Chains A and B, each alone.
Chain A
Amino acid sequence: MERLAFAHPAYLWGLLAVALPILVHLFNQRRPRPLSFGAIEFVLRSQRQKARRLRLRQIILLALRCLLIAAVALALSRPSLKPRGAVAAQSTGPQATALVLDASLSMRYRLGASTLFDRSRREALAALDRLGPDEPASVGLCAGPAGFVGVGIGTPSFDRAAARRLLQSAQPTFLGSDMTGCLASAARALGESPVAGKRIIAFTDLAAHSIRLDAPPPLVPPPSAPGKSSSQTGIRPTVVLVDAAQGRELPNAAIIGTAVRPSASLGPRGYEVVATVANYSAQAASGLQVSLHIGQQTLAKGFVDVPARGTAKKTLGAVLPAGVIMGRVDLAREEAQGLDEDDGQDFVVHVPRDVKALIVDGSPSSLRSRDEAFFVEAALSPARSGGRISAQTLDADAAANASLDGFDVILLLNVPAPQRAFAERLRNAVAHRGAGLFIALGDHVDPDAYNDALGDLLPRSLHLLKSSIEQGSEEHAARFGVIEWTHPLFRIFGAAERESLESARTFRYALLKPDPGSQAHTIASYDDGAPALLEGRPGAGRVLLYTSSASRGWTDWPIRSSFLPVLQQAVSFLAAALEEKSPSPAQVGDERAIAAPQGLAVAAVVGPDGKPVALRREKQSETDAVVGPLQLPGLYRTQVGPLKGTPHEDGSLAFVATLDPRESDLRRVDESELKAQLGGAGSAQVAASSEAAQGAHGTPLWSGLLLLGALALLGEGTLTRK
C-alpha cells in the first residue's frame, strides 16, 4: 500500500544521460583502427576463444554504466515511498489541526522496550513538527470520563512551544478513554479556529472499547456568525487515526477480579483467594502463573489455563495473619509484550483475630450433659469455631482466684454472685482492658446479690425471676418476640434460618428493673416484651446479658441449631473480633465515599503512591469524606481521628481501587466500520504513522540508490581494469 513520490522530479530528466554510455558504446563499436598484423593467427585464436565472454562483458559494462547514471539521476530527484492515503491530506491548504493523544490505560501496552503511548507521543511530536507555519494546532490527552485529561482541548493556536511541552510532559493514565467523545470535543474545538481546513489527528491503539460505532460522526460547528440561524450543519473534519499498534493484534491477559473468602478446610484463618483471569487474545493461554503476595512474601502460586477470549478462575489458599490484610494477586509478566498494569490486583481483607474465652461454670456436674457449660463448651469448641476461639473452663471457686489477664471474653454461666475481689477484677478487665463479658443466669443466681456484686457491669439491674405456668406445657412457654436481625449477633441468619431461633421455648427467665436512663440496648426480647438479650458498654468493653440459662435448665434454646452460631457471634462480638465484610473495591476513575466511624472524622486518605489524595466533604456530614476520581490502582489507606486531634490509620476503612477491565481488552475496532462512523473513507483514514497522514517524506530511497550507483561504479572499474 505504498506509492513512489519524488521531491525534485526535474532531476528525472537526468535519466536521459543514460544515452551517453550507449552512444559511447556504439561509437567504440564502429571505429576500429585498421592494422596489418603479422601474427594475426594468434589474434584470431584469442578472439574466437574470448568472443562470447567479451560480448557479455561489454553488455555488462554498458548496463553498469547506464545503471550508474540512472541511479545518480534518480537519487538526485530524491524519491521516497509513501504510504497510500497521503494524497488526500496533502492536497488541501492549511488546516487547523487537533492532535488527540490517547492516554488511556491500554496505551501502556508494552511492545518490546517502548509502550504504545511512547510511540504515539513520538508520532505526535513529529506530527507537530511537520505542521506548516500557517497551521494552528491544539493538543489534548484523551482519557477518563471527562474526555480529556486536565483542562481539555483548547482552541488551535500557534503556540508550538506550549503544545510541545504538553506532549513531552504527557503521561499515560490508568483510566479508560472515550475516543469517540474526544474526537467530537476536538471537532468542536476546531470550530473556534478561523482557518478553513479542519483536521484531527488522533494517536490511539484503536481498541474497540474506546470507540462507539453508533455515535454520530464528529462535526465541526459552523462559525457562529450573528444574524445567521443555526440551521447550517457543521462540516466534517478530516480525521486521521494513527494506529499505535500499526495493525498488530495485541494479545493480553489480565486479572479482572479478586474475591477473598474464609475457607474452613484450611484451618483457622485459612482463606481462599479467587482470581478471575481473562485472556483477551485469539489463542488459548495455558500455564499462566498466578501468585498470591502479602507484603513482600509470596504465599501461594498456581497455574491456570484460560481459553481464547475467555476467563478462568484460579483459587489460591493461604493462612493469613489476623488484622487488616492487604495483598495482591498477580500474573507472571510477559517479556515480549503486554499490558503489565492489569496483570495484578490488590485486595484488602479483614482477618478476625483469635479469641481467648474463659468459661466460668457455676454448676459443674460429673455428668457431661448435666453440666451447665456443656452447650457453651460445645459451641465454642475448636472444631466448630474453626479454631478461632479457644475456650478454657473453670468452676466458680477456681475462677474467683484465677487471673483474668489474657482472656478476651469471660462467660459467667449460672455463677453465684461473685466475691468483691473477683467482681473488681471483672470490672477492671471489662471497663479498662476492653474485654467482653457474657452473663447467663440459672438457679444459682440471686438477683439482688448480682445487682450488688456487679452493679454497673450489668446493662440493667435484675428484678425477679419469672416462670411460665408449668414446665413442659408448650403453650405457655415464652418465645423470642422481637429480634434485631441487623445486630451482628443475628445478621448471619438468612430468612430461612430464622425459624430455628424463633421457635426456641423459654420456661424461666429474669425480669429486669425498669431503668429509663439506661444506655443498655435490647437486641432480643420475649413475646411478652421482657428483654431476652441486652447489650451494655461499660467503659471500653462490652457486656451481653442473657436473661435465661445457657443450659437446658430454663430453656430449650441450647439444643436448637440457632444457639451455636449466636453464641459464636456473641463471643466474637464481645471480643470485637467479628468477621467484617471486606470493603468492596472501587474502580479507578470513580469516586469513593468514606463513612467515618462513630465520633471520628476522616482525616486523610493516602493513595498507593504514598501521597495523600484530595478529600471532599459532603454537605450533610462534617466527618465523612469523598475521594476521587481515583487516579491510581492499588490500596488506599484511610486515617481517622477526632475532629481536633491526631489522626490514626483505620485499617477497616482501607480500600482497593481496581482497573477498568474493559481497558485490558485491546481488541481492535473494525477499521471499515470505524471509517464509516467517522464519515466515510473520504474524510477519515487509518494510518500507520503520522508521516503518512501528513504526506511528508515517507521512506527515503535515494541513499539506497546512491549505494547502487557506487556499486555500479566499482563493478565498472573492476571490469575495465582487466
Chain B
Amino acid sequence: MTLDPALLARLGPLQIRARKVMEGVLTGLHKSPHHGQSVEFSEHKEYAPGDEIKHIDWRAFAKLDKYYVKRFEMETNLRALLVVDASGSMAYGRGGLSKLQYAAICAGALAYLLSRQGDQVGLLVAGDAEPGSSERLPEGVRSFVPFASSPTHVQELLQRLDSAQGRGATLLSAALDYAAEKAGRRALVVVLSDLFDASERSVPALKMLRSRRHDVLLLQTLDREELDFPFDDPTRFLSMEDERQIEAQPRQIRESYLSEMRRFLESTRRELARADVEVEQIPTDSPPDRVLIKLLARREAA
C-alpha cells in the first residue's frame, strides 16, 4: 500500500497522517528483503572470556546465577533530532501538500517509528520566532522539543509540527548551530528543508554538524512545480521570504531556470556527499511512506 500525497492531504490532523505513513512504512518493512533485527528484541548470550564485563546483565545473574551478556543494548540507545525548516519558501505548494506539510508528515512518521523502538526523538523547528511567544530561544529556532521517547512526547512533537507555519527567511544555519549544541553526543540529525537559502550558509552548517560526528541526513523537499517550472503565462513572481519580485515570461526563461535548478541540486548533492552527508531529494508528489522505506532500507543495508 502506498500513500498518495493527494490522499494524505485530505486526511486531516497530522497525527493521523503521520500514523498512516508509519503504518505504511512498517508494512513495507515486513515485505522488505532487508529485514533486520528488531531493536526491541534483545538476546542474552552466555558470558565468555573476552566479552565486556560492563555488558553483563546482573539481573539475569541474580535470577539464574549465570553470567549473561546483553547483546544489543547499544543500538537501542539512538538519539534522533528532527530539524524542520519552516521558512517562507517551505509554504509553497499549490493544490496538494505544501513542502512544509510534507516535511511534517515525514518527520511525524519518523518520530513515531523511532519512539516505537525506544529511541529518543527531539524536534527543532527552524524559522523566525513565533510572534507573542514567551519562550526564549536563540535566533533561527522557532521551537525546540528536547529528546524523549514516550508516546506523549511524540504527541507533543506532532502538535508542534502541525502548528508550524511556513514564513520568514531561511535561518537554517543558525538553527543547525543550535541543534549541534543541543544534540550533545553523537546523534542522528534529520534535516527537512528545501535548502532555498539566499545566504547559502545552510550547506556549510550541515557539513559542520557532520564534522561533529553526528549522523546527518538531509531530506530535501521540493515541489514538482519548482522542479519542472510548468508556467506559460507572463507572471510576476513574488518572493515568499522577502520583498523581492520579478516579472518574467516563464516560457522564455524555462530553459535557463531548469538548468539553474539542476545545477543547484547537483552541486548540493555532490558537496554534501563529499562531506559524507546523506541527501535525499524528494518531490512532494511522491508517496512519503515509499520514500521512508527506501531510506530506512538503505540505512539497514549500510
Contact = CB atoms under 8 A, between A and B. Distances in A.
Interface in B230-275: 231, 233-240, 244-249, 252-253, 256-257, 260-261, 264
Nearest to B200: A41
A516 B245 CA distance: 145
A10 interface: no
A36 interface: yes
Contacts of B245: 34
A43 B223 contact: no
Contact of A40 (B223, B240, B249): B240
A49 B246 CA distance: 13
B260 A45 contact: yes
Interface string A260-278: 0000000000000000000
A42 B260 contact: yes
Given A28-B234, A35-B231, A35-B235, A43 B92 contact: no
A38 B246 contact: no
Interface in B207-244: 223, 226, 231, 233-240, 244
Nearest to A39: B226
Nearest to B98: A38
Contacts of A37: 92, 226, 237-240
A42 B236 contact: no
B237 A43 contact: yes
A648 to B, nearest CB: 100
B246 A33 contact: no
A203 B88 CA distance: 88
Interface in A27-57: 28-29, 31-47, 49-50, 54, 57
Contact of A54 (B89, B194, B249, B260): B249
A31 B233 CA distance: 10
Contacts of B223: 38
Interface string B108-125: 000000000000000000
Contact of A35 (B88, B194, B236): B236
Interface in B61-117: 88-92, 99
B302 interface: no
B153 to A, nearest CB: 31
B196 interface: yes
Contacts of B88: 38
B198 interface: yes
A34 B253 contact: no
A43 B257 contact: yes
Nearest to B242: A40
A365 B198 CA distance: 147
Contact of A38 (B240, B256, B257): B240
B238 A35 contact: yes
A579 to B, nearest CB: 101
Contacts of B248: 32, 43, 46-47
B99 A38 contact: yes
Nearest to B89: A38
Given A33-B233, A46-B260, A47-B248, A40 B253 contact: no
A588 B234 CA distance: 86
Contact of B244 (A35, A44, A45, A46): A44
Contact of B92 (A36, A42, A47, A722): A36
Given A44-B246, A50-B253, A38 B90 contact: yes
B236 A40 contact: no
A56 to B, nearest CB: 11
A49 B257 CA distance: 10
Contacts of A41: 196, 198
A377 B257 CA distance: 122
Contacts of B257: 39, 42-43, 46
A255 B248 CA distance: 82
A48 to B, nearest CB: 9
Contacts of B240: 36-38, 40
B233 A43 contact: no
B286 to A, nearest CB: 17
B246 A34 contact: no
A38 B196 contact: yes
B92 to A, nearest CB: 4
Contacts of A35: 231, 235-238
A33 B231 CA distance: 11
A31 B236 CA distance: 9
Nearest to A45: B260
A673 B236 CA distance: 75
A38 B249 contact: no
Contacts of B234: 28-29, 31-33
A33 B249 contact: no
Contacts of A57: 252
Given A33-B235, A35-B235, A41-B196, A47 B246 contact: yes
Interface in A424-440: none
A36 B245 CA distance: 9
A46 B253 contact: yes
Nearest to A30: B234
Contacts of A43: 237, 246, 248, 253, 257
Nearest to B99: A38
Nearest to A31: B234
A29 B234 CA distance: 8
Contact of A46 (B91, B231, B256): B256
A32 B248 CA distance: 8
A630 B248 CA distance: 89
Interface in A156-174: none
B196 A39 contact: yes
Nearest to A57: B252
Contact of B236 (A34, A38, A45, A46): A34
Contacts of B244: 40, 44
Contacts of B231: 35
Contacts of A54: 249, 252-253
A418 B146 CA distance: 175
Contacts of A36: 92, 237-240
Nearest to A47: B248
Contacts of A39: 89, 194, 196, 226, 257, 261
B235 A42 contact: no
Given A46-B257, A46-B260, A47-B246, A40 B252 contact: no
Nearest to B264: A42
Contacts of B256: 45-46, 49-50
Contacts of A46: 248, 253, 256-257, 260
Interface in A449-464: none
Contacts of B92: 36-38
Contacts of B249: 54
A43 B260 CA distance: 9
A90 B172 CA distance: 86
A32 B252 CA distance: 14
A32, A37, A57, A722 — which one has the most chain B CB atoms within 10 A of its CB? Answer: A37
Interface in A529-555: none
Nearest to A48: B246
Interface string A472-504: 000000000000000000000000000000000
Contacts of B236: 32-35
Contacts of A50: 252-253, 256
Interface of A: 28-29, 31-47, 49-50, 54, 57, 722
Given A40-B246, A722-B252, 18 more contacts: A28-B234, A34-B236, A34-B238, A35-B231, A36-B237, A36-B239, A37-B238, A37-B239, A38-B91, A38-B196, A38-B240, A39-B89, A39-B257, A40-B240, A44-B244, A46-B260, A50-B256, A57-B252
14 contacts: A28-B234, A32-B236, A34-B245, A36-B238, A36-B240, A38-B194, A38-B240, A43-B237, A43-B253, A44-B246, A45-B256, A45-B260, A46-B248, A54-B253
Interface of B: 88-92, 99, 194, 196, 198, 223, 226, 231, 233-240, 244-249, 252-253, 256-257, 260-261, 264
> What are the 9 A-B residue pairs with the smallest beta carbon separation, nearest first?
A38-B92, A46-B256, A38-B89, A46-B253, A32-B234, A32-B236, A42-B260, A39-B226, A46-B257
